Structure 1
């Protein structure tokens, strides 16, 4: 079916990553940065050029569009979703994508900063990519494969289905979201307007990865109130909130419960932001575990650490606030096994061996699942996310396009 197809996924990807869409976790607006809408407007224009008449960007920065059904069968409406924003962890300004054709297993030295090297020893997936065309950034920015690889794959799959009316499918809703990287990607999503029954995010990594399980997640904010006094007359009265915050962090275990010491299904307690002055300091944590009940255990441990430290500073005070972020999609997807089963069938049709992997993180799909849209995650090839060593295989993106097409076909065939 794809033998003579001229993929557009690569040229789309190269175009999209050059648009700065970095989100901002400290912003109080939605979307957190207006520049995310720049990509949204381009995607709407491209969809309209393909003939998708209802494609539009709403006030919140969501792109909605519909690929109409071309079958007489009653097929559930599925949604294909990717996010447009890139991580705040690394600059996304002036991204210069570079294609390394016919990759042969060498370390990749990025030209604009030769100290940035994508080493095979540190990225063993590259061993499987010999002969592929690898795309990287130039060494000064992230690439943006997370998740513009997903965006590009969806766009190319839509193009394919429009060009191949013999491939039967039900109605497909296309959704591109802002602010996924800051955990707010579906905060203003109109589920009634979306009108889908099942969904798939295209935001996964290795070829064949099919993720139906993710961390459950909470956030914790600790606010420490110290006592500020002029340092020249501070003896016996000054209590530094900065030093208390440092002591809390230093009391956390060095050999467990952190991202750098855990893997697989192990959870963690991770400080992600510290800010303060003598009088007041804040620490933001993310709490993660695949078992939702264990979040409370991790939070109780962190609260005990705080109480232990604060007991040494009776003149100071602290608050401990927990905020739910998202939950393990497995709790919902177990009720709808066909959603994952059909994705696995689609991958096999694309000559890919599906691999079920737990996500040590979250996607829009984890929140969508609990909003009534069961939504596992499918690979795009995006690797080494959120940093200057990010890369993606052109051939992986092409296989993602195939998987989307076969997925649409599978839903129609089983209806």
Structure 2
């Protein structure tokens, strides 16, 4: 264990969150990190992604080590909105924004921790494992960067994503799969005052379906939600078309499929009942993953935390991350907490002590 340079860690984190990088606009942060990693001794590759998902690029970087083993460490470079013009402040050992933006600890706290651990290892002249990095674009809103990450570059057989909240020592070993539904209901327009009975109201079809649909918390492993509804032209027109976006998630793939089938069939039955047309695009966003808590990868992570006086524990989550994508591509990956809290809100914050602790864990893990 070493003494993490807290001031340098916090300053680097401040520098990173001040770089605007809302999803699809990651070029500036990617260029900055590519340069910084090169200065740290990493061999850096800028991996192209489709222009539709980002103006930037994924980063693959590698630092050869003398100790046995190779580990891939991963974070995403993008933030949610409002994420431009972030002004970080410190209050009683807690970093937050001034309040009109998010902070960007999701996920720049992970990037800062990884790079501070490597800086300390190199300053101390310590031998370390071979370190591979995967910094991704457009994670928020679909895990786009990891889906397009060139896995042929990766030599590691296990990985850690640093993109979760909770106490330091939280290891996410189980995460859900997600299915997205895009539903277009086409009814029939009519004058709402003169001849409403001649129309087919798309909203009536949708409400009929939704009222019969199992939504919200389905069971301890499964959820479903209607998140977007768009339609209508004027109050004097029977609504001719309605667009809906919905999702289902489950830690169990068979339960996920059953919930999706239920939602689709309920929409279709309502459309048939009212004589409307319906088009449903159903797409798997990502698959669930589940890693045994006695797996050697987990045991090694727990041991490094224990060496730093932290009692690590495994748990499941209801959210997806790049870990879902990497696992589906055959790379055994867990998601670790950096201590980030109230993410995706303007009340987001992170404790400096937590940032120091996760950096210290990384130092220990990489040099064991």
TM-score, length-scaled by structure 1: 0.79
CA 1:247–1:18: 2 relative to 1, 3 Å: farther
Question: Is residue 32 of structure 2 the alignment partner of residue 39 of structure 1?
Answer: no
Partners of 1:365 and 1:301 in 2: how far apart? Answer: 28
Which residue in the other structure is 2:346 paired with? 388
SS in 1 for 2:198: coil
Which residue in the other structure is 1:291 paired with? 252
CA 1:205–1:262: 2 relative to 1, 3 Å: farther
RMSD of aligned alpha carbons:
2.2
Question: Is residue 119 of structure 2 the alignment partner of residue 180 of structure 1?
Answer: no
Deviation at 1:222, TM superposition (A): 1.6
Q: Flag structure 1 segments of 5+ consecutive residues without an equivalent.
A: 24-32, 102-132, 411-415
Q: How does 1:303-318 map to 2 (within 5 A)?
A: 303-314=264-275, 316-318=276-278
Q: Flag structure 2 segments of 5+ consecutive residues without an equivalent.
A: 50-56, 233-238
Out of 286, 289, 305, the residue aligned to residue 329 of structure 1 is 289
**Cα shift readout 1:179-205 (whole Å, capped 9, x = no counterpart):** 111222312111112332211101121
Q: How does 1:359-398 map to 2 (within 5 A)?
A: 359-398=317-356
Which residue in the other structure is 1:14 paired with? 14
Partners of 1:243 and 1:15 in 2: how far apart? Answer: 51
Q: 78-87 or 57-66, which moves further after superposition?
A: 57-66
Partners of 1:321 and 1:340 in 2: how far apart? Answer: 38
TM-score, length-scaled by structure 2: 0.89
Question: Is residue 79 of structure 2 the alignment partner of residue 86 of structure 1?
Answer: yes
Question: Is residue 46 of structure 2 the alignment partner of residue 57 of structure 1?
Answer: yes
SS in 2 for 1:196: coil
Question: Is residue 362 of structure 2 the alignment partner of residue 404 of structure 1?
Answer: yes
Out of 67, 91, 99, the residue aligned to residue 100 of structure 1 is 91
Deviation at 1:224, TM superposition (A): 0.9
**Cα shift readout 1:32-87 (whole Å, capped 9, x = no counterpart):** x2x212111111111122232x224332210121121133xxx3321000001112
Q: How many residues align?
A: 353
Question: Is residue 319 of structure 2 the alignment partner of residue 319 of structure 1?
Answer: no
Deviation at 1:312, TM superposition (A): 3.8
CA 1:384–1:308: 2 relative to 1, 3 Å: same
SS in 2 for 1:375: strand
Moved over 6 A (4+): none
Out of 108, 117, 129, the residue aligned to residue 148 of structure 1 is 108
Partners of 1:354 and 1:162 in 2: how far apart? Answer: 26
Which residue in the other structure is 1:200 paired with? 160
Question: Is residue 63 of structure 2 the alignment partner of residue 70 of structure 1?
Answer: no
Which residue in the other structure is 2:226 paired with? 271
Partners of 1:335 and 1:372 in 2: how far apart? Answer: 18
**Cα shift readout 1:315-362 (whole Å, capped 9, x = no counterpart):** x111233211222221xx349811111111111112111021111111
CA contact (8 A) 2:5 2:116 kept: no
User: Which one has the bigger strand percentage?
Assistant: 2
SS in 1 for 2:2: coil
**Cα shift readout 1:108-164 (whole Å, capped 9, x = no counterpart):** xxxxxxxxxxxxxxxxxxxxxxxxx11112221111111111111111112122222
Partners of 1:244 and 1:97 in 2: how far apart? Answer: 47
Question: Is residue 214 of structure 2 the alignment partner of residue 225 of structure 1?
Answer: no
Q: 294-303 or 395-404, which moves further after superposition?
A: 294-303
CA contact (8 A) 2:2 2:363 kept: no
CA contact (8 A) 1:208 1:379 kept: yes
Partners of 1:161 and 1:375 in 2: how far apart? Answer: 23
